[in-house]
């Protein structure tokens, strides 16, 4: 039996993994979203409403939240088509803050006082979702659709001129990423059984992006490494007491200086699995 301390940490890892994957999926098409905590918040509040007020089973509530967030993601994806780089990042950041402020004043769901009463879920249930979606992404990475996403990432104009519908690819990625973020939020809500708007602020979006960049932004498996490190490292550095977060920041900078693509990339995976692969 795992200690409750580690059980709590691994629940956080699973939830962060989903958040990181939601960023990774959108980033695979070359779009940086700093607003995924917004989609997470939508998923958390909607799933909680469905289980608490309408007494739905958690799984059904998560699925419906995912579909609803995907629809919102697609709506957000359209204006995002016109923006690139830091401009897109700023716009998505604005979206995330908009969602947070909305729930802050949305009294039917508790407003700033938060919302409670959700049924508690187990660590196993969290990892059933996290593992399932990770597997889905890893399988998808071997598909033609993922190649299309990478093509849009590398050179959008050329992608269009070799026959790819770049608009559909970019918007689809936003919808898919939003759905994953919503499931992340639904699991968060039913793990902590209490949510408040500040759970879904800017720092949360940054955590997602950080996990992806640290773990490896060119492979889905990187999100696992990133989520593990982001949750466990600050714990392991506890012996440094007050210097803990500073040391963590230092380590982060060190990794990015030595490996810009993050810890995991295709070359490293190939070496670890003994495949022949490009140099």
Partner 1 sequence: MSDVLLKLDTVSKVFGGIRALSDVSLAVPQNRIVGVIGPNGAGKTTLFNVITGAYRASDGDVVFDGKTVTQWPSHRIVRAGVARTFQNIRLFGGMTVWEHLLVAQPHQGNMLRRVLPSRWADPKAWARAEEALEIFGLHNYRDSIARTLSYGLQRKVEMARAMTAGPKLLMLDEPVAGMNHDEAEELRLLLLRLQSRGLSILLIEHDMAFVMNLCHQLYVLDFGALIAEGTPAEIRTNPVVLDAYLGSETAC
Contact (CB, 8 A) for 222 and 262 = yes
CA 14 to centroid of chain Cα atoms:
10
CA dihedral for 201, 202, 208, 210, sign (positive or negative): negative
From residue 104 to residue 143, the character string flagging contacts with partner 1 as x (rule: CB under 8 A) and all else as - is -----------------------------------xx-xx
Query: With respect to partner 1, which residue has the nearer C-beta, 100 or 153?
Result: 153
Q: Which of 135, 158, 246, 254 binds partner 1 (CB under 8 A)?
A: 158
Nearest one of 176, 153, 152 to 73, comparing CA atoms: 176
163 binds partner 1 (CB under 8 A): yes
Q: How many chain residues are in contact with partner 1, going by CB under 8 A?
A: 28
154 near partner 1, rule: CB under 8 A? yes
Residues 183-242 that bind partner 1 (CB under 8 A): 218
Tokens linked to 8? 């709590």
What minimum distance in Å lies between the beta carbon of 263 and partner 1? 17
Q: Among 59, 83, 114, 150, which residue interacts with partner 1 (rule: CB under 8 A)?
A: 150
Residue 145 lies near partner 1 (rule: CB under 8 A): yes
**161 touching partner 1, by CB under 8 A:** yes
Contact between residue 16 and residue 227 where contact means Cβ atoms under 8 Å apart: yes
Q: Which conformational region is residue 255 in: left (phi greater than 0), alpha (psi within -120 to 50 degrees), or beta? A: alpha
Residue 210 in tokens: 């950080």
Structure tokens at 132: 């399932």
Radius of gyration of the chain (CA): 19
Residue 278 binding partner 1, by CB under 8 A = yes
Of 155, 198, 203, 260, the one binding partner 1 by CB under 8 A = 155
Binding residues for partner 1, rule: CB under 8 A, are: 139-140, 142-145, 147-148, 150-151, 153-155, 157-166, 218, 276-279
């Amino acid at each position: 039996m795992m200690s409750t301390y580690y059980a709590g940490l691994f629940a956080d890892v699973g939830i962060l993994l989903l958040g990181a994957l939601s960023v990774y999926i959108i980033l695979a098409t070359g779009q940086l979203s700093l607003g995924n905590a917004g989609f997470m918040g939508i998923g958390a509040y909607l799933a909680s409403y469905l289980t608490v007020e309408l007494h739905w089973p958690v799984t059904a509530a998560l699925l419906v939240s995912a579909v609803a967030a995907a629809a919102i993601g697609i709506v957000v994806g359209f204006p995002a088509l016109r923006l690139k780089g830091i401009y897109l990042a700023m716009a998505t950041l604005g979206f995330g803050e908009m969602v947070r402020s909305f729930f802050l004043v949305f009294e039917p769901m508790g407003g700033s006082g938060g919302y409670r009463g959700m049924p508690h879920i187990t660590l196993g249930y969290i990892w059933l979702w996290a593992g399932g979606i990770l597997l889905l992404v890893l399988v998808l990475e071997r598909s033609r659709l993922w190649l299309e996403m990478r093509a849009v990432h590398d050179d959008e104009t050329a992608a269009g001129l070799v026959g790819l519908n770049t608009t559909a690819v970019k918007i689809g990625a936003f919808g898919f990423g939003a759905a994953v973020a919503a499931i992340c939020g639904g699991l968060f809500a039913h793990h902590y059984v209490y949510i408040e708007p500040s759970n879904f602020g800017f720092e949360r979006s940054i955590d997602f992006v950080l996990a992806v960049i640290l773990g490896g932004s060119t492979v889905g498996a990187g999100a696992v490494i990133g989520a593990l490190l982001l949750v466990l490292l600050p714990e392991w550095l506890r012996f440094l007491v007050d210097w803990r977060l500073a040391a963590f920041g230092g380590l982060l900078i060190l990794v990015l200086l030595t490996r810009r693509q993050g810890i995991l990339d295709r070359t490293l995976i190939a070496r670890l699995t003994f495949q022949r692969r490009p140099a």
